[in-house]
Structure 1
Amino acid sequence: MEHSATAGRQGLTRRARLRAETSAEIKAVALRLMSEGGPDAISLRAIAREMGMTAGAIYGYYATRDDLITTLVRDLYGALADTVEAARDALPAEDTAGRVMAWAGAFRDWALAHPEGFRLVYGDPVAGYQVPEGGAAPEAERRACAGISDLAAAAWPHAEPFQPAVAWDWSDFDPHLADAARADHPELPPAALALGLRLWGRMHGLVSLEVYGHLRTQTTEPGKLYRAEMLALVTSLGLAAPDAVRP
């Protein structure tokens, strides 16, 4: 009886492992198809053909194409959040300039290593895809937004005198975003939230141009261009640019 129970547990473990491996392969094939034919190339039947599976078998892993896309976005966005948080947290909390540069550099490195993932999370819509209520990856999105907000909050005491003369009100922002910012940093004004969005825009802008190939004919040194932009960003916050940190 004991031997039978142990064998059953091992069998379940083996089945779970094989299922996880197949699920990971399905996601890898989906991203490859997307890289070759764009986001609309993702279909369960096409993936099944690539993997030598029947259509019925692949539906046992993902009931619909939208389920697969949602899983991809959640996994990719989560991995991105892990990456940028780890880069930031490798530096001490008081090194605001270094943490801004580290976050930005990790963001670019991840995007270049996972261009299809970057496009799926931030750019290319998939025809007919219905985003789940609350978003495909709400937790990862919350972490990314909170991370940028934290960087803006840390920079605010230095950056405030250098901000443009624009009158901001909490009503200028999405209510959920404003509520989260006020909960995390009740001492800060709405202008600090605007600063966070501007930080995100400057970090994201050149990376997006690079991932989509728009810089390819413009410069042979996109990394140098990005570093210069991030150093200018740090300087605009009233912080001393860290010489040793590479974005």
Structure 2
Amino acid sequence: MNENMKSGGHMDQVLSRGNPTYLAIRYSLEFVVVVLGITVSFWLSEWNSLRSALEHQVKDAKDLLQDLESDEARLIEVGTAAEIGTDRTLRILQNHRRLASGETTYPTFVDSLVDIGFAYSYITFFMNDGTYKTLLNNGRLQNFPTELEESIKEYYEYVSKRASDNNMMIDNLSLNYFVKHHPMCMVKGDELLSHKGEKSDWPSSARDVMHRPSRQAHYQSDEFYVQTMAYRNRIIFHQSLIERYETIRSKVEEELRSYLEEHPDLNK
């Protein structure tokens, strides 16, 4: 009984506000509470910052995917045109060989070229790089995982420069071929640019061009065959580049979609 009373008295002394032990406990608890508060506040701030960064990355990834989808549609269009150009120039070469071997007459050869029409609608590829340039300028591109960032850069840096150079080359070669070696295509081009509803007898105009003595000699020459073959080879090379661009593009698209799948809570 006396011991309990002594123990209780000791506790009262400890809890007495003026007691140094009480003050030490009190200040220690207050310090712990303050530290915990700062820690939790810092953690919440970091969490919000990281989540905000992830939200930006997810949006950026979606914007890049939208650009890549537009590029895919354009690549398909350009690739299809190149495939058609490859086929049409092959038909020109085959018909010219028949003409050279005497299997067909020049008027029949002319009709075959009129039937083929425009040898190649040399449309070119220009990528949509608006989002990429924005991410470069604001520094957010580097927030993506390293491998994904490198894949994105490979597509936009590698393809952009080569596409620009190749576009210029195919444009120049096409214009040179049509003007100097296959002027009938220029007549076809004029017909394509005619006003809607306006009747144009371009087959007659095309035949007129090809039956002119100087043009007839050229169309029958080895020079026309060689130039057509060289032009076709360039179209084939152009087609192979388009396929290469699509391979790189699809790789980036796949990696971006995988990245979005890793953040389903943000990918809404």
- Whichever structure has more helix as a proportion of its residues is 2
Q: Which has the higher contact order (CA 8 A, sep 6+)?
A: 2
Q: Would the TM-score normalized by the shorter structure come out above 0.5?
A: no
Shorter-chain TM-score tier: under 0.3
TM-score normalised to structure 1 length: 0.24
TM-score normalised to structure 2 length: 0.23
- Say which one has the larger Rg: 2
